[in-house]
Amino acid sequence: MRRIVLAAVAVVSSLAVNAQKFENMAPTPPMGWNSWNYFACNVDEKMIREVADIMAESGMQDAGYEYINIDDCWHGTRDSLGFIHPDPQRFPSGMKALADYVHSKGLKLGIYSDAGWKTCGGRPGSRGHEYQDAMMYASWGIDYLKYDWCFTDGLKAEGAYLTMRNALYAAGRPMVLSICEWGDNQPWIWGDSIGHLWRTTGDIYHCFDCVIDHKTWNQWGVLQILDLRDNSELRKHAGPNHWNDPDMMEVGNGMTVSEDRAHFSMWCMLAAPLIAGNDIRNMTPEVKTILTNAEAIAVDQDRMGVQGLKFASENGVDVWYKPLEGGDWAVCFLNRDTIDKKMSYKWFDQKVVDDVAKRSTDFLTVNYTLRDLWAHKNLGDTRKALDFTLPGHDVLMLRLSPVKK
């Protein structure tokens, strides 16, 4: 038996010579749910089944969410041949049965591992077992792998992620590969040919404006995540099947409704993966409304796949533009302050040029209708200034559509 298994590993390893990432797995930013932000290591198959049930029944699946991603701490031990198995107490039915259940709902199952010898939660990592782990994931019916970067001393990030990409390809089951190395090694430069999305920052925290200092590492609030990297550089590397990932969402995990709305809106403007991180089994109507806003989601999922640009920042208000299909634009006014701001935005003073999308507009020559994507109502057009009050830590998110002559 041992010879057969080792021979199989050798065969799939040899296939790495012609390996590539699985194509067209993420033509728009992936949408789904992940266990870590709310549950951390407290994961088991009962909870995952309940989350799948709610995703299918709550309207989230209809809104576009499809991945149920189990994060760290699902692991049991490796057997005598080195193959990983799930914790038998937490997942007594096994991963194959759980994947079958999730698939029966029309959803997909994701899993977590780490490029190091241990995961961030201290479970067995994939270092030295990449091909074995990929074979197990494929045999279970896994659809998505989040691959972390703890305990990786001596490894080079690009090479480590390339090894797992090759292992997944050799295993033969198409999977989304999420590169989670926190942006330390600029994965937006090299990640396109390896994974389908890559983290650009360290871990998010469920606050709008804060830094949580863990001595050796930090967690970041929503505003800090937005500011940590140069968006003008990042957006050059985003697009269909290769997305910048500012981390999973904290909507529903303790911020105010306004902050949740602003958080969700900005992830949509960034063309970010929309991976919910709350307990969707017990979310409030307000949280559900935010997570399932079809008009905001349409901005994120726009087929052009262009990450938004910060056009202006003044008096604590950022103005973002995102080009969309059909000549449309999304525009988002983000109030970074806690106090309300009275605004009068004169469209005819603005000249938007997006060198990444090769798009521009001049409001002196083109008139656009204005659609409020949260109030779900029309606000006139760009022929006159837009006067409004922007509450603290909130947004006004618009869709601009050119008026046909």
DSSP conformation letters of 154-197: T--HHHHHHHHHHHHHHH----EEEE-STTTT-HHHHGGGT-SE
Between the alpha carbon of residue 278 and those of residues 33, 81, 206, 248, 255, the distances in Å are 8, 37, 10, 10, 11
Per-domain boundaries in the chain? 2-300, 309-402
- CATH class for the domain made up of 309-402: mainly beta
Predicted pLDDT at 17: 53
**Stretch (H or E) spanning 288:** helix 285-291
Instruction: Find, among 235, 253, 252, the residue nearest to 244 by Cα.
Output: 235
- State yes or no: is 148 an active-site residue: yes
What are the residues whose beta carbons fall under 8 Å from the beta carbon of 314, sequence distance 6 or more? none
CA atoms within 13 A on the CB side of 234: 26
Predicted pLDDT at 98: 98
The answer to whether domain 2-300 and domain 309-402 are alike in fold is no
Pick the CATH number of 2-300 from 3.40.50.2300, 3.20.20.70, 3.30.565.10, 3.40.50.970: 3.20.20.70
Predicted pLDDT at 369: 98
Q: Is the pLDDT of residue 325 over 50?
A: yes
Mean pLDDT score of the chain: 95
Catalytic residue among 44, 203, 260, 302: 203
Average pLDDT of 36-52? 98
* Per-residue pLDDT reduced to its tens digit, 55-89: 999 999 999 999 999 999 999 999 999 999 999 99
- Determine the residue type at 157: A
* Per-residue pLDDT reduced to its tens digit, 170-184: 999 999 999 999 999
Q: Is the pLDDT of residue 391 over 80?
A: yes
- State yes or no: is 203 an active-site residue: yes
Catalytic residue among 44, 143, 148, 300: 148
The distance from CA 185 to its chain's CA centroid, rounded to whole angstroms, is 19
Q: Is the pLDDT of residue 239 over 60?
A: yes
Is the model's pTM score more than 0.75?
yes
Task: Give the phi and the psi of residue 289 in degrees, each rounded to 5.
Answer: -60, -40
